[in-house]
Structure 1
Amino acid sequence: MCMYSADGNGFATDFHILHYGQFAMRGAGLIMVEATGVLEEGRLTPQCLGIWKDAHIDGLRNIVDIAHRYGATVGVQLSHSGRLGSSIPLDEYQDDQPCTLDRDKGGWPSRVYAPSAIAFSNQFWMPKELSIAQIQAIQQAFADAARRAEKAGFDFIDIHAAYGNLLNQFLSPLSNKRTDIYGGSFENRIRILVETVRHVRAVWPKEKPLFVSVSALEGAEGGWSFEETLALVKILVAEGVDLCDVSQGGNIANAKLSMDPQSRAQIVGSIKRETPGMLFGAAGLISNGKQANDLLESNFADAVFSARQFIRNPSFVFSAAHDLGANVKWLKQYECAR
């Protein structure tokens, strides 16, 4: 989950070390560093993390080191924002007000790109349609970012193809109106993601997991469907993806999606049952230990991902263990509070 706390040039700050370090100290088994731009213009905001140049590696390694010191596995989500780029941080959004960030305030409105020239809404920039050469450059940027992630010491990487980011925009027929090999049919719309996975898998160590985040439903008529998600995931298994992090929505403004945690869990479970050989993570609206444990015990998911609940309660693991009557390891410095 984006923290909008980078230095303006994509570099990690002390905030990131403290932010991710606290979760490692308080029992999180796996930590995923927020969406991190594979290109400068692939960030949502100037305050988002970057991994588009080697100079970013040392700052990211500091996050890895603090997580490893306290026993956590840590990865990074590689992302390109597409048509959502050059925007203001989420906490600055106001109803019916522009979310765009002009050049004089650090934005890059002339470098906002997407599959097609279709804006997310009238609050965001109108993007330019990517050329095939630009698509290929973005795919190479993902591979280059994966190499940097390995040098920083990350244990896994996640290719972000959910929540309305660029790869998600290509998947949906509502945001992708191209007539070339990257648009139109299902096979063409998923092409950029499949090719990107191949580029990344070729450079990412075989012994380290590769995740992909997908939005299973779009919540709009004529949009990306559950059936397409199921077909995509089966292809991703064959391409060497180890885990799919399944969520919903994010690509269409005012989408109509269920906010019922159980119905969301059933969607993940349905995909999991149909896709042997792939691990699945459930994400979204997970707020307590019993709910998370039920997802695992019912075999709806192999892992549970939570963001906002950890922000509300950095000791979520300890709280969940207490509620479930489970015994988890605490830092010796914190044992007095068990």
Structure 2
Amino acid sequence: MTILRNMTFYEAYPPNEKVQSSSIFHTALMLYKLTRHSLLLIFLLSSSVRLYASSPADSTATETRNALEISVSAASSLVVNAALTELVKRSVDRTRPNGEDNHSFPSRHTSWAFTASTIVSNELYSHSPWWAVGAQAAASAVGFQRVVTRHHYGSDVIAGAGLGIVSTQFSYWLCNRLLNPKDKMTLPSSDNDFRPSIAMTSEAVFNIGSDIATAFGVSLKGQLPLTQRWGLAMTLRGITAPVIVNDTYINPINAYGASVGGVGHFRLPVKALAIETSLYAGFMRLLPTKGWSHNSYGFEGDIETALNWRLTPSFAFAARLGYRVMTTPSAVSAITFGLSSIAVF
């Protein structure tokens, strides 16, 4: 019930301030610092990648979809997504944080962005995992910007991302059934062994019992195996969330941070699937929030479980569920759910 309250009741109140230009500056600063640290993470992992340079490249890109299949699947995804997004948007009455109108839910921009991201991933992931990772990063940046600039609440963005992914996957499935009715549906799969990887994650953060409402987050996670099951991990994360004080919207709180920890990789009987468990600890840098005082730095601890599906030798997809504790200055608990595109080396 507390989670539901943070998603709906708290977020239903209109703001009492105009958009502050300083929030855009702080967002740009945070994204710059997050990018700088992300490049450092990739550099640190590059040495481990060389150890696996002799691994064979993807061999799953041998079957090329024809232009008709690609065009119909992409076009139908855009049409279905636009229809669903507008239907929900016109059916739900929620005032935007900036008071502009009452069509806040869901985020149209985020829905479109994740539709485009899913199309790119579906068509190109077998050629290079970086297409999927990069597409998800771009879509996540759109959602992040919509919350920071007070055009949407975190739950609006999360709903938009979900609509984009679901509508696109449904359209691809339907088009495949119509264009190739005699083909048997076979899911792509590859041996899910434990190797170095970099994952791009878009996550929903359901804060429990605090002034911080539902948040939207992005993270970059690197893993380095030490044995066949256990390894080290480092995560760089940025989050943005509305702050509600006395049932009044104040401003979004924006934060970025880094954490380190361990990860376990446990293969399942189905060769493409594995369960990963992670435990992290680190710090968060909280940017100033007008109208709400808090510390500049906070502690962060995470425990997370993921279902990892290896589609090709160098690309995987994962769904993540976790529990997080943060200090802002008081302790804040949160349930997290994330989806990841993973480049495997």
Structure label with greater radius of gyration: 2
- TM-score normalised by the chain length of structure 1: 0.27
More helix by share: 1
